[in-house]
Amino acid sequence: MMLPHKNLLTYRQIGDEWADTIVTTLVQNGQMPVVGHFLRQLTYNQQVTNQQDVPNYLQEYLDKLSQLPSWADARQIQLAVKFFEKNIENISILLGVYSLPYCYAAADGARVLVHSQRIVAQTRRRLAETAQFVLEVLSPDAFRPTGKAFRSIAKVRLYHAVMRHHIVQKGEWNMAWGLPINQMDMAGTNLSFSYIVLEGLRKIGVTTSFEEAQAYLHLWAVVGEMLGVQNDILPQNSTNAKILCNEIVRLSFQKSDAGILLMQALLEAFQTTPPFHVLKGFAPTYIRFLVGDDVGDLLEIPSANWTGNFISLLKMRNMYRSAVDFSPKEIQENVNRMSSQILALSQATTFVHEH
């Protein structure tokens, strides 16, 4: 998996040939509106297969993405789900305060998000959708007929291909930035859901076993391959994840108007989002603690203030909770509570958008 500098950069010119071909064909045949309506109706995995009203090549796509890669380990996936459930509150928050700023610091990748416009204009809705996706691929029944992982992955992968097509077709994209949503950017995004989350947990005092970390990386490698990321840039252990992360930081992180704009939109969204709306300045303070001042300065995140004192308390709380064996009932109650909050946020932002 270890890639030399020059080879990793070549991945900036590679998209997702399979999904891109499907989208090109759909556009040429004038079938995008019909297929778009069909995909919006999908809710559970069991709906992904045996659809009569879609083109054969799209049905093949859905069929293939209705099964795990041959190398997927069911035991590792199960352990990753349990790890997520145990840490759902911290992981859900870290996705917003660490994973997203990490992605925004990659200048060329940030430009894609600005071109899509939704991430800036509807930041809270996109936060909710991202959290919902994570819940769907990390639920206990995620890859069973009653789950939603296969459906979600198929939709997200096609959405990325649609975005690549439209951004390039608009004629405003500079290919010197790399292909929109290219392999290197997708690998970085995958790291933001996996390795960056594990690093964030470590920084805030959550104890993670070697087996739990391996399992969590494995699950996201499985999801990454199904989303179209090439296997040779999908690390399945912490050592390779760190190597890839460091290379992406070195090659991609730089100051950009796009990254600053995205960061400002995120901080504005946090002003009305629990728990950050309670303490003024805590969101930028917490983000700077996680990403470090170098990245904080790239994104022009406001300086830390007195609320940084609460981070020490948060770390103490997390270290205590890591040492306590919570009952399955207590863990499930926490999962249900967080899931309900994410669903409520998603429904609220959808209502605002549609009305």
pLDDT at 161: 94
Cβ atoms within 10 A of the Cβ of 311, count? 18
pLDDT at 72: 96
Q: 234-277: per-residue pLDDT in tens?
A: 998 999 999 999 999 999 999 999 999 999 999 998 888 777 77
pLDDT at 354: 36
Tell whether the model's pLDDT for residue 172 goes beyond 60.
Answer: yes
Q: 134-155: per-residue pLDDT in tens?
A: 999 999 999 998 899 998 999 9
pLDDT at 6: 56
Number of separate domains in the chain: 1
Which among 180, 136, 170 has a CA at the least distance from the CA of 155?
Answer: 136
Q: pTM for the whole thing?
A: 0.89
Helix (H, G, I), strand (E, B) or coil at 251: helix
Answer for the pair 233, 187: CB distance below 8 angstroms, yes or no.
Answer: yes
Q: What is the mean pLDDT of the chain?
A: 86
**Residue 26 domain boundaries:** 5-354
Going by C-beta distance under 8 Å and a sequence separation of 6 or more, which residues neighbour residue 201? Answer: 87, 90, 91, 94, 208
> Is the model more confident about 172 or about 194?
194
> Is the model more confident about 305 or about 340?
305
Answer for the pair 224, 187: CB distance below 8 angstroms, yes or no.
Answer: yes
DSSP symbol at 68:
-
Tell whether the model's pLDDT for residue 95 goes beyond 70.
Answer: yes
Answer for the pair 86, 206: CB distance below 8 angstroms, yes or no.
Answer: no
Which among 293, 183, 289, 298 has a CA at the least distance from the CA of 244?
Answer: 183
What φ, ψ does residue 125 adopt, rounded to 5°?
-65, -40
Mean pLDDT lowest among 127-131, 146-150, 167-171? 127-131
What tokens were used for 209? Answer: 């076993």
The partner residues of 106 in beta bridges, in order of sequence, read 253
pLDDT at 53: 67
Distance, in Å, from the CA atom of 347 to the CA atom of 350, rounded to the nearest integer, reads 5
pLDDT at 199: 97
Answer for the pair 48, 66: CB distance below 8 angstroms, yes or no.
Answer: yes
Q: 46-61: per-residue pLDDT in tens?
A: 765 555 667 888 888 9
Tell whether the model's pLDDT for residue 204 goes beyond 90.
Answer: yes
Distance, in Å, from the CA atom of 249 to the CA atom of 62, rounded to the nearest integer, reads 34
Which among 214, 213, 185, 218 has a CA at the least distance from the CA of 200?
Answer: 213
Which among 254, 259, 308 has a CA at the least distance from the CA of 280?
Answer: 308
Distance of CA 40 to the CA centre of its chain: 20
Tokens 């296997």, residue located? 231
Angle formed at CA 314 by CA 311 and CA 315, multiple of 5 degrees = 90
Tell whether the model's pLDDT for residue 39 goes beyond 80.
Answer: no
- In angstroms, the Cα distances linking 149 to 134, 137, 222, 257 are 9, 5, 11, 34
Distance, in Å, from the CA atom of 93 to the CA atom of 43, rounded to the nearest integer, reads 25
When pLDDT is averaged across residues 129-137 and rounded to a whole number, the result is 89
Helix (H, G, I), strand (E, B) or coil at 106: strand
Q: Which stretches of the chain are DSSP H helices?
A: 5-10, 17-28, 32-41, 56-64, 74-86, 88-94, 100-104, 107-116, 118-121, 123-137, 149-169, 183-193, 195-203, 210-226, 238-252, 257-270, 282-291, 293-298, 309-323, 328-354
